[in-house]
Every structure is written in C-alpha cells, then in structure tokens.
Amino acid sequence: MSPRTLLIVLRLPVFVLGCLITTQSRADTFGIGANAFTIDFVNIGNPGSPGDWGPPTGGRQYTSGFGYVPYTYRMAVTEVPQVWIDKATNLGMANVTAGAWTGTKPAANMTWYEAAAFVNWLNTSTGRHAAYDLAWTGAAWTMNLWSAAQAWDNDPGPATNLDLYRHKDALYYLPSQDEWCKAAFNQNAGPLSGFYDYATGSNTLPTPVVSGIASGTAVYSIGAGPAAVNDDGGLSPFGTRGQNGNVWEWLETADDNSNNIPDEYRVFRGGGFGTSASSINSGTWQAFFPAYSQPDIGFRVASATSVIPEPTASLLVLSVAVMSLYRRRRAGRR
C-alpha cells in the first residue's frame, strides 16, 4: 500500500473501512425498468485446495478428475432462466433464441455459442470487456481465439496456463470444468476439503423429484420437463442449486481441456430432467460441437470476484493495524 493510499484509508471512518474490507457483492443487476433482472451469486472460496484426483474414499464411487481452482470466484446460484434471455433480447441482445421453455424455467435449446453470447451481453451491457471473441455471420456464430496477451491465465502462479477462449478482463463467463466441479462437488470444508459424488453435498444418490428444494433432491429421471430454476432440487455445500439434473449445463471447457481450437467439442455436465442416475454423478460428463442444441441443455453463469476480496488473515491484520493508526492519529489531535 502506497503512503498516499494509506493516508486516504486512514481518513476513512472505522465503520466504512470495516465495510470495505469485509463486504462482498452477492447479487448483480442487469437491464433497466421492466427488463431488469438480478443474478444471485455465491462465492467459491478455498482457493488452491486440491482437485478431485485421488481414489474415491469414504463411501464414494465417483471421481470428477477436476476441481482444482487457485483463485476465489463466484458461481450463479441457479441456471439461466428463459426470462433473462427474453429481457436481454428486449434490450438489444441479438441471435440468442433458446425458447424450449418459458418464464423461470431454464433457457434451453441453447448452443454453446448462444450461451457465450449471453455472457458477452452481461459484460458489454455493463461496460466491461466481452468474454468471448464471437462473430455472427448472418446465419451462424463463429469464434476466434484471443491472443496470448489478451487471454485469461487460469493458474496465476509461476507457470502460465492460458485459456484462449476467455478474455482476461471479462467479469462474467461460462464456468470452466474445474470451476463448475468445485462449485458442485467440493465439500467447502476448508483448504484441504474433499469432494462428494453428487452436487447435493452427499455420496448418496439424490432423490428424483419433479420440483422442490428439499435437501438431497434433484430433478432427473422423470422425463416431464424441467422445473423452474429456483425450484430444482437441494443445494450444494457452496449454495448452488440444480447442478444435478434439470438441464445439462454447457461449460467453457473443450473436451480435451485445452481451449485452443475455436470449434472443438465443448463439455456439458450435470444431467437433465430425463436422464438416468448415471448422468448426474461427479465422474460423468459429455461433449459435443458448440453449435449443438437440445431442449435439455442450458447453462449457468460464473464470475470473477468483485473488486473488494473476501477477508483474509492478512487483510484482517491490515485492517486492525490501520484502525489502530487511525485511532492514534485522532487521539493525538485532541
């Protein structure tokens, strides 16, 4: 912290400083008037905790093979409903239709490109950089890769691990397979937390339901269509809903986990309302070309954290030190 920045911080009232250090945005609002909508996010913390690579233990049957994320990020609580697509379209988003379902049921019949275009709109409509370099040809979507200087480095350690799909300055994006699996299956129990087989915080197969939010339930194996996105099963340990069942969810990640070929197969996960139990466990995913769509494939949004990070030990120590200095300065002026 520079002397000038420290001086500015010292001039803040203590309660304001405390808010700056401890407050984390949870919900983001888009659009205006009748076309406004809010996406509720939860923080996915424990950065750098191990991924789900070890042999299943403690009654587990399935291993995702993913889930290592060396940074804190946010995941939308629910899948994207059709009503958000409709409102964004009313405000100028083009060439994203979906339409398999209506209202608060999930946006489905979504190609990967359409999901990426919606995420781009979330960014550009709020003055941020697009996540994906998409172009509409008049009949179809195409995508270019970002340059090495523009691309997101998904492991900010000494080794560079570039994601050439995602721009480094985008706030909103499709979750990678690692980000999605951590939000769904991680136990959220500390820096060495393990993983569950299912996104309901359990190694026990969820109870199939048509709708509802009871713990340990998911919308699958019913074939009657999806539930509303806020009524599609129990929560994961991090607080996301519907990562098992309802609709499959497109992920940013290519099938070979490389993200370096624009039109290669993309992963989708989680199973849908009509899929069998084998589709919803942590060890199952599918992939297809990004122009593919089906009534049981949708998506959810992920996001970088807001400017003010979650409190850490170092931040809390800094806050105590700054508050102490502030009090001494005030006492010296009396």
Spatial CA neighbour of 180 closest among 259, 268, 291, 266? 268
How many other CB atoms are there within 10 angstroms of residue 20's CB atom?
14
Report residue 306's pLDDT band, with 50, 70 and 90 as the boundaries: low
**DSSP secondary structure letters along 113-158:** HHHHHHHHHHHHTTT---SSEEEE-SSSEEEEPPPTTTEEES--SS
Report residue 273's pLDDT band, with 50, 70 and 90 as the boundaries: very high
Mean pLDDT of 133-160: 90
Give all domains of the chain, ordered by start, each with its CATH number. 24-307 (3.90.1580.10)
Mean pLDDT of 208-223: 97
Task: Tell me how far CA of residue 204 lies from CA of 197, 236, 278, 328, in angstroms.
Answer: 7, 13, 12, 56
Report yes or no: 65 and 177 within 8 Å, Cβ to Cβ: no
Predicted pLDDT of residue 155? 82
Burial of 206 (0-12, 13-18, 19+ CB in 10 A): buried
Predicted pLDDT of residue 198? 98
Mean pLDDT of 45-58: 92
Report yes or no: 185 and 198 within 8 Å, Cβ to Cβ: yes
Structure confidence by residue, pLDDT tens digits, 64-91: 999 999 999 999 999 999 999 999 999 9
Q: What is the rounded CA–CA span in Å between residue 183 and residue 240?
A: 7
**Does pTM top 0.75 for this prediction?**
yes
Q: Which of 240-249, 259-268, 307-316 bottoms out in mean pLDDT, i.e. has the lowest?
A: 307-316
Over 70: is that where the pLDDT of 330 sits? Answer: no
Residues 158, 163, 169, 175, Cα dihedral to 10°: -110
